[in-house]
Amino acid sequence: MNIKYLLIFGFFMLLASCSSDENLEKKDAAEALVTETKNFLNGDFVLNTRVLMNGVNKTLLPKGCPTKVNFSWNKPNKNIFTIRLDEFTVGQMPLVITFACDAKIMQLTSWEKNEYKGDGWVKFQGVDGQLLINNETKNPVSKGSSVKGFYNVKTHEINFIIDFNMMNVSSECFLQIVDKSRTNNYEAEFKKFEEELEAYKKEHGL
């Protein structure tokens, strides 16, 4: 009988924990963290990303490719920024993608804090972005598209995943440190990537 009560008690404690985490997921991050994020993560940056189609890395190279990503803060809500990719295509991608989505900065749940340890982490999340394929503008709002990621204001580590909700295509920015100096070296970085990509294709008969 005691075991039964313990199991029931444990079940309700688990429900309470999940409910608490659900509330945290919707709660704004501390104002100081939002300010630090805005002060650094603002403008154009170059990050390595991989494009996945049905789980296959269409970027081909394991390290991904240098990608220009823009972060802008012009919304009335100070916790919201816009993340944008412009005319992105690379590797074996059959499409040219332009995507923009508003994302809100929030606290991490207790589960997420177990993965992203230490101080300074914020989560950003948004849905229903604007998607253009091959510069067509028939219906720019992509229902079900989303972006979710994490950023550390102290170490400038970042990672995020953009789900375009189209042909099972997503873009992954794996965990890395944001380096502002890469923006000025983008052309050289991309040229090197193209050379490595051609070598990869020849080696694998693509």
Per the domain annotation, does 2 fall within a domain?
A: no
CB 60 within 8 A of CB 176: no
Cα–Cα distance for residue pair 117/65, rounded to 1 Å: 27
Asked, for residue 4, whether it belongs to a domain, the answer is no
Question: Is 13 among the domain residues?
Answer: no
d(CA 99, CA 49): 14
Answer whether residue 195 is part of any domain: yes
What residue type is 75 in one-letter code?
Answer: K
pLDDT tens string for the chain (206 positions)? 456 555 555 545 554 444 455 554 578 999 999 999 999 999 999 999 999 989 888 889 999 999 999 999 999 999 999 999 998 776 666 678 899 999 999 999 999 999 999 999 999 999 999 998 887 766 688 899 999 999 999 999 999 999 999 889 899 999 999 999 999 999 999 999 999 999 999 999 98
What pLDDT was estimated at residue 58?
86
- Provide the pLDDT for residue 92: 64
Classify residue 194: in a domain, yes or no: yes
Domain that holds residue 54: 28-203
What type of residue sits at position 11?
Answer: F
Residue 195 and residue 150: Cα distance in Å, rounded?
A: 31
Q: Is residue 49 assigned to a domain? A: yes
Strand partners, 162: 147, 171
pLDDT attached to residue 199: 95
CB 148 within 8 A of CB 129: no
- Which amino acid appears at position 166 of this protein? M
Torsional sign, CA 187, 188, 189, 194:
positive
pTM of the model: 0.85
Strand-pairing partners, residue 151, are 122, 158
Alpha helices in 26-143 (DSSP H): 31-40, 110-115
* pLDDT score for 25: 55
Residue 166 included in any domain: yes
- How many domains does the chain fold into? 1
Asked whether residue 162 is assigned to any structural domain, the reply reads yes
